[in-house]
Amino acid sequence: MLINFNAINEMTMPGMNNGTGEMTVRMFNDDKYRMIHTVIHPGGSIGPHVQESGDDINYVISGEGKAFCDGIEETLAPGMCHICPKGSEHSIINTGDENLVIFTIVAKK
């Protein structure tokens, strides 16, 4: 299976999961996977939410931020991967002056 994210329309989303600010996303979603290229703009965040469909794997492409998973804070930087297991609560915050770019894969369980 080949997924061309360049061919997926970019959407602007304000305050994903009651987060702050704005982000732009390109999302692929079917019955087995959800894959999202996300750009969290400075000052933006994905609000706290329970990960219900599967483990949420977030690879940081660029920028800096913080992730909180079940109350544990993690620093995010390029090359790092934040994993939130199914059933856990997490959020992601852009703490830098530039875009926080992450690629998320959820293998639905």
65-94 confidence digits (pLDDT tens) = 999 999 999 999 999 999 999 999 999 999
Report field, pTM of the whole predicted structure over 0.95: no
Cα(99)–Cα(85) distance, integer angstroms: 25
pLDDT beneath 50, residues of the chain: none
Going along the chain from its start, the domains and CATH numbers come out as 13-108 (2.60.120.10)
CA 62 to chain centre: 12
